[in-house]
Amino acid sequence: MLNNKNILITGGTGSFGKKCTEMLLNRYKPNKIIIYSRDELKQYEMAQVFSTDKYPCMRYFIGDVRDKERLNRAFRGVDCVIHAAALKQVPAAEYNPLEAVKTNINGACNVIDAAIDQNVKRVIALSTDKAANPINLYGATKLCSDKLFIAGNAYVGRDHSRFSVVRYGNVVGSRGSVIPFFMKKKTEGVLPITDPRMTRFWITLEQGVEFVLKCLDVMVGGELFVPKIPSMNIMDLAKAIAPECRTEIVGIRPGEKLHEIMIPMDEARNAVEFDDYYVIKPQFNFFQRRFNCADKAGPLADGFEYHSGTNPWRLTTEELLKMIDELNIV
Report whether pLDDT(322) > 90. Answer: no
Catalytic residue chosen out of the listed positions 5, 18, 42, 130: 130
Q: Residue 110: in which H helix or E strand, if any?
A: helix 107-117
In a domain, 243, yes or no: no
β pairing state of 199-203 and 231-233 = antiparallel
Instruction: Show the domain range for 24.
Output: 6-169+202-229+261-308
Report yes or no on 318 lying in a domain. Answer: no
Per-residue model confidence as pLDDT tens digits over 177-196: 788 888 888 889 999 999 99
How many domains does the chain fold into? 1
Is residue 187 included in any domain, yes or no? no
Q: Tell me the C-alpha distance between 321 and 277, whole Å.
A: 24
**Which CATH number is 206's domain given?**
3.40.50.720
Answer yes or no: is 316 within a domain: no
Predicted pLDDT at 247? 94
- 253: in domain: no
What's the sign of the alpha-carbon dihedral 145, 150, 151, 152? positive
* 236-270 tens-digit pLDDT: 999 999 999 999 999 988 888 999 999 999 999 99
152 pLDDT band (50/70/90 cuts)? very high
Cβ pair 75, 115 in contact under 8 A: yes
The enclosing H or E element of 201 equals strand 199-203
The pLDDT of residue 293 is 60
Q: Is residue 244 part of a domain?
A: no
The sign of the torsion formed by the CA atoms of 314, 316, 317, 321 equals negative
* Residue 98 within any structural domain of the chain: yes
Active site residue 130: yes
Q: With respect to residue 97, please indicate whether it lies within any of the assigned structural domains.
A: yes
SS3 category, 225: strand
